[in-house]
Amino acid sequence: MDLAYLRAHPEHLPTFLTHQRIRETPVPGGHICTASRLTLDDGHSVFAKTWPEQAGRGVPEGFFATEAAGLRWLREAGTVGVPEVIVALPDLLALEWVEPGEPGPEAAERLGRELAGLHRAGAATFGAPWPGFIGALPAENTPHRGPWADWFAQARLLPYLRRSVDDEALADADAALVEQVVARIGEFGGEEPPARIHGDLWPGNLLWGADDRVWLVDPAAHGGHRETDLAQLALFGGAPHLDRILAAYRETWPLTDGWQARVPLHQLHLLLVHTALFGGAYRDSVSRVAREALRGAGRATVNG
């Protein structure tokens, strides 16, 4: 099997794998899927993701189709690096292989400019035309005309708050802080039309390539607020050269006043996803960021 054959007959890939006709090498993947490098007969490689057998349940319906749709939509913007989707099957996704490299300041600045271009490509509505996932959890993607603050509260904060409380990952006091943020969400300002965003852009979803370019992987792509992507880049230790990424972004497309005060609001979504997925280990982070968001609400209103 070579790359041309695989593009023409993607449905044959599982058979070749089952009969060990393709060299398969495990590679580090995300927290959800099993990842491997597949080396084809012509020397090309592809990156493959499958649902782990030890997960205890089958792959959620539409899981890989959603990721493939998001990758294609981001790639259509023609700006930032996004791997080509080569195979999208119900239980397997194979992408163009990107040779890993080391983070560098020039690649970071290029990423900032390219992210601005991606966001400017826009979206018809908040949400997306396909069902949503973030990690292994569903995401509410029903298209919504806005305003953004109402949509963000209902589709990106409250569902994961409820799940976190139901699973006892958050205590009543933690939940009360998030509920205060939701109640005051109209005070933060910064309303903008929907941007075309990655939606899960924590630093682990940046692939620094050997080609001195940064590639976006594992998206939860949808129409959202561009500040969400930028705020998520600062989570969990922050992306390498984050200051260069943000500076190049702002030179290309300036952010609206008060954006710094809104960073915790945008980060709260992904932290609630983590309490919903992984439990109380992220409880303190949710409470801290919710307090920061509440402190910043007034500043965002004044400056926005």
Q: Domain tally for the chain?
A: 2
The pLDDT of residue 56: 60
Enclosing domain of residue 51: 3-96
The pLDDT of residue 19: 73
The pLDDT of residue 303: 44
- Domain boundary (96, 113, 128) is at 96
Same-domain pairing of 122 and 72: no
Same-domain pairing of 157 and 252: yes
Same-domain pairing of 142 and 30: no
pTM exceeds 0.75, yes or no: yes
Measured over the CA atoms of residue 216, residue 221, residue 226 and residue 229, the dihedral's sign is: negative
Collapsing DSSP to helix, strand or coil, 7 comes out as: helix
Same-domain pairing of 188 and 216: yes
- Domain boundary (57, 79, 96) is at 96
Q: Is the Cβ–Cβ distance between 12 and 90 less than 8 Å? A: no
Q: For the domain that residue 200 is a member of, what is the CATH number?
A: 3.90.1200.10
Q: Which tokens go with 117?
A: 């271009």
- Domain boundary (96, 116, 149) is at 96
Same-domain pairing of 78 and 190: no
Neighbours of 278 (CB within 10 A): 12
DSSP H helices in 100-241: 105-120, 148-152, 158-166, 172-183, 226-232
Torsion of CA 167, 33, 122, 267, to 10 degrees: 40
Same-domain pairing of 71 and 155: no
Same-domain pairing of 78 and 148: no
Q: For the domain that residue 43 is a member of, what is the CATH number?
A: 3.30.200.20
The pLDDT of residue 125: 98
Same-domain pairing of 289 and 211: yes
Same-domain pairing of 134 and 261: yes
Bond prior to 264 in cis (omega within 30° of 0): no
Q: What is the mean pLDDT of each run of 10 residues along the chain (304 residues)?
A: 91 84 81 89 93 76 96 98 96 96 98 98 97 94 96 98 97 97 95 98 97 97 98 98 98 96 98 96 97 84 46
Same-domain pairing of 76 and 112: no
Same-domain pairing of 167 and 291: yes
Residues 80, 71: Cα–Cα separation, whole Å: 11
The pLDDT of residue 304: 41
Same-domain pairing of 171 and 207: yes
Q: Which tokens go with 25?
A: 């090498």
Residues 71, 95: Cα–Cα separation, whole Å: 10
The pLDDT of residue 299: 67
